[in-house]
Structures are given as structure tokens and as C-alpha cells.
Amino acid sequence: MTHEIKAPPRQIGLWTCLALVIGNTIGTGIFLIPAALAPFGWNALYGWGITIGGALCLAYVFASLARLMPEAGGPYDYITSAFGPMAGFFVMWAYWISQWVTNAGIGIGLISYLSPFAPEFFARPAVGPLCAIGMVIMMTAIALRGVKASGSIQIVTTILKVIPLLTVIFVAVIVLGTGDGSDATAANIAPTPISIAAIAGAAALALWPMQGFEAGCIPAGRVLDPGRTIARATLFGTLFVGVVYVLVTLAVFLLLPSEIAAQSSAPLADLIGRFWGSEAGKIIAAFAAISALGALNGWVFLQAEVLLVLAERGVFPRFFARVNNKGMPVYAQLVGCTLSVALIATNLSGGMIEIYSFIVLLATVATLVLYLAGAVTMLALIKQGKAKGAAVTFTALVGATYALWTFYGAGAEATMWGAALLATGVPVYLLMRRSSPSASESLRL
């Protein structure tokens, strides 16, 4: 039984909002990215500095938008306030696509981390993708049970997923503090010359595991005291994740020879295994699976919030605003789940990793559209006199520059995919304009 409501109930407090930011940002990326960054040597740490700096500037922009418009329903309302509903629709359309695409990718990654525990079972044809489909469906069922159900899982998995990362940092502190690895640390780092090109390449790779810091803004209509809660969760969560990421990467660089790290499929497990034994690999795989499960839970919950807001604002079919007795948008969840399942199903006859790189590219570009739009929106509001302040002006300028630079660094193929994502919304936009006079008015700039 569903019904329509004007606005969702506000149930998300600071801890759940913070868990969304940290939990959606820390997924599977940090368990793999040190291997990809190892050949860059010290360039990787400079790249991390740029990426984290850009992410913090963008986080500050989104936090400021939340303070400026505490009654807004999230990024759609932010963008609309400066550029009108059409701009808001297309940006959030691309972002919504990135969400269900991301869920398919996380589902595949989750099963990949579980495969070492039952290699013969997961080696059977189609078993991996079918299990990934099952995980997406399970998380959708949990999301439909309400904010408390998803929020509880998010808080627990966020705490658990931080444990292996802090363990890696702890191992590095102990080893370096006792001098056991002091003679080898300098030689372990790849002797790659410092260059702008290498730093840019490292920064582009580092953006992938940093995506998700905007998660606290997406369900803004459900957040208690949104102006304060979203701002605090976004800023603190982004800073916490950035610091942990840098320390984990530095630990791998210092304690694991670069030639080993670069070839490793599980660099964190290999690092801990050098000091605590080979069984550490399975322990890390288990925590990585928990991390993926938490990220999947968070992104499944958020994917329906975008369509809910679009439907409430009259720029998407109204039935997507219908909710169950827990206040959750049923049809929006079912559509997102179906699309994620369909994307995974296209890989039933292939290996688990074959579509993963495509998914990462697609999700990254679509998210960049939102990041750039958020920064440009703040600059427009400043120009219109609706916002002011040196700090927010500076961070918006840096955030916009960083987003444009990352688009450039992503390459022509990524840019074309971004344009393709936006173009898929054109038929929906035209259909909504023709469907009713009220929708036509709300979609007009």
C-alpha cells in the first residue's frame, strides 16, 4: 500500500548522516588504490593532496549550500535556485544514473571479495553475477523498511570498515616506531621523478575512492536540522576519510616494496601479511566485503531519494513520489534496483571484472557533473547577492577549477560518456513538458 506525501519525515540525525558520508565514500576503492598509485612514487602523495584539497573545497561548498537553504530537498533545489529547474533536472538525472550504475559495480566488487572464502562455488559460470544481483535485491528490501533499518546497517558497517584501515596505520606506526622497517622504507618507494603529468595522473586515480562525500546532501529533506547536520557531517566526514586515505597509502608505500605493491590485488592484505601472517589476507577480504556491503546499503538508499525529489518538484512522473508506510519511495527503489540488476545481468556469461572499469568510468563522470554544478551554483548565488563570504567564494572557485581539471584529466572518452548521460534525459524532459501544463511550467528555465 502506497500513498503520496508532500515531504518525507525528518529522521536522519548527525550520526546517520555522518555514516552516509564516510560509509558511501569508503567502499572498495581504498582496498585497491594503493596498488594503482604505487608506480607514481611520491607523486601519489602530491596527487592525494590535490584530490583531498579539491574534495574538501567542494564539501565546503555543499555544506554552505545546505546552510543557505536548510529547507531544500538536496542538490536539485540548490541548482534550481541559481539556474532553474531544467538545469537541476539534467544534473540530477546524470547523478541518478551514476547511483544505480555504482550499485551494480559495488555488488560485483562485494562478491569478488567473498570469492576467496568459497573459490569453487564462485568459479561456477554465472554464480558470481547472480550473487551480486541477490545482494542488490537484498539491500533494496532493507531500504524499503525505512530510514532506521538502512541507517542502523550504515552505522555498524561504517565502524567495521574503518577497522582494517586503522589497523594498517597502526602497523606502520609500530614498525616505524620500533625501527624494524626503517632501513627499507626509503628503498620501497618507486623512484619515479616528480612531474606535473605524474601528479595529475595520480590525482585522477585518487578521485575514485573519494567520491561520495556529497552523500549527506542527497536526502536533505529527511535530515534533522539540515543546515547544521549536513554541514558538519560533510566537512568532518570528508576530512576524516582524506586523512585516513593518505596515512593508509603512506603505510603501503613505506612498508611494501613498490614492485610488490604495484602487482598486488590486495595491497593492504599483503602489507599486514608481512608482519602478521598469510591468514591476514582472508581477514582483510572479509572487512573489504563488509565495506562494500555498507557502501551498497548507503547508495541503494540514496538512489531513490533523487527520483523522489524530482517527482515532488513536478519534473518526473508523479507516481515516483508515492511512498510506503515507512515513508520510502517504493517505485523509485524498484526502478533503480531493476536497472542495477539488468546491468549486472549483461555480464552473466563473462567474468566478474569485465564491466567493472566501465562502471567506474561512467559513475565518476556523472558524479563530476554534480560537483561542477554545485561549485558553479555557489558562484552564481554569490554573483546574485544571495550568498557572500571570502571563504565560500574561494572554495567555490577552487572547487570549480578542480572539477574542470579532473574532467580534462579524465580524457575525451569520459567527457563523451558524460554528454551521453545527460542526453539520455532529453526524452524524459520532453515527455514531462508535454504531459501536463504544470510540469511544463516547472521545467521551463
Determine the Cα–Cα distance for residues 333 and 305; give it in Å rounded to an integer.
Answer: 9
Please give the full DSSP string across 187-237, using - where no structure is assigned: HHS--PPP-HHHHHHHHHHHHHHHTTTTTTTTTGGGBSSHHHHHHHHHHHH
pLDDT reported for residue 57 = 95
Q: Who contacts 227 (Cβ-Cβ below 8 Å, separation ≥6)? A: 66, 67, 70
pLDDT of residue 31: 79
Sign of the dihedral defined by the CA atoms of residues 342, 345, 351, 352, in that order: positive
Kind of pairing between the strands at 3-4 and 322-323: antiparallel
The per-residue pLDDT for 188 is 72
CA distance 88 to 313: 11
Q: Which three cell numbers stand for residue 36?
A: 594503482
| Residue 186 one-letter amino acid | A
CB-count burial class (<10 Å; 0-12, 13-18, 19+) for 119: exposed
Q: Which residue has the cell 569520459?
A: 414
pLDDT for the residue numbered 76: 94
Give residue 179's pLDDT. Answer: 62
| Residue 176, all three cell numbers | 616505524
DSSP string, 262-279: HH-S-HHHHHHHHHH-TT
Q: Tell me the C-alpha distance between 216 and 59, whole Å.
A: 10
Task: At 392, give phi and psi (nearest 5°).
Answer: -70, -30
Domains for the chain: give ranges and CATH numbers. 7-443 (1.20.1740.10)
Which residues does 362 contact at the CB level (< 8 Å), separation at least 6?
97, 98, 101, 417, 421
Q: How many beta carbons lie within 10 A of that of residue 191, not counting itself?
A: 9
pLDDT of residue 443: 45
* Cell numbers that stand for 371 in this block: 560537483
pLDDT score recorded for residue 373? 95
Integer angstrom CA distances of residue 394 from 207, 232, 234, 379, 404:
21, 19, 18, 10, 16
Predicted confidence pLDDT, tens digits, the chain (445 residues): 565 555 667 789 999 999 999 999 998 778 778 877 888 888 888 889 999 999 999 999 999 999 999 888 889 999 999 999 999 999 999 899 889 988 888 888 788 778 777 878 877 777 888 888 999 999 999 999 999 999 999 999 999 989 888 888 888 888 877 765 554 566 677 778 888 878 877 887 788 788 889 999 988 889 999 889 999 999 999 999 999 999 988 888 888 877 777 777 677 877 887 777 767 767 877 888 898 899 999 999 999 999 999 999 888 998 898 999 888 999 999 999 999 998 888 766 554 444 555 666 677 778 888 999 999 999 999 999 988 899 999 999 999 999 888 777 666 776 777 787 788 888 888 888 777 555 544 444 4
| DSSP-derived 3-state class of residue 340 | helix
Residues 6+ apart with CB under 8 A from 53: 398, 402
